[in-house]
Amino acid sequence: MTFYDEIGGHDTIKRMVDVFYQEVALDPVLKPMYPEEDLGPAAERLTMFLEQYWGGPTTYMDKRGHPRLMLRHQAFHINPDARDRWLTHMRTALDDVQLSPMHDAAFWDYLERAAHMLVNTFEPTPEIGPSRAHRPDLGLTS
């Protein structure tokens, strides 16, 4: 049995991702990082990624190839504020699914490490229009 199976599989991951994106939709720093108005495609990608990471279906790899997290996030202004907001919303989502303490600690440890790894600037968040956090000039989207 994989970690994915132990935590409830697709239903648990999907619920967590749904709660996370409900929070992101209201966040003035994180929401502009998503080029699509509809967060559904981003939610689908995150669901597939987390499922694969924790031992579920390999749909992410089958559809999108290697995750390359740092490369895929390079185009975004991820400073400590953005990281902390992301972690706050992930904590809300993780609390919502109420994993066992052991599973919660393992999941949270991964999320913290990933969030810290993806910080790519220490510059303050720019305040110039709705696309301020996305840098399309780099040609990458998540």
pLDDT digits over 75-110, tens only? Answer: 777 899 999 999 999 999 999 999 999 999 999 999
CA 89 to chain centre: 9
Q: What domains sit in the chain, N to C, each tagged with a CATH number?
A: 3-138 (1.10.490.10)
Q: Which residue has the tokens 């990471």?
A: 53
User: What's the pLDDT band for 132 if we cut at 50, 70, 90?
Assistant: very low
More confidently predicted of 131 and 23? 23
Give the list of residues 6+ apart from residue 85 with CB closer than 8 angstroms, or none: 27, 29, 30
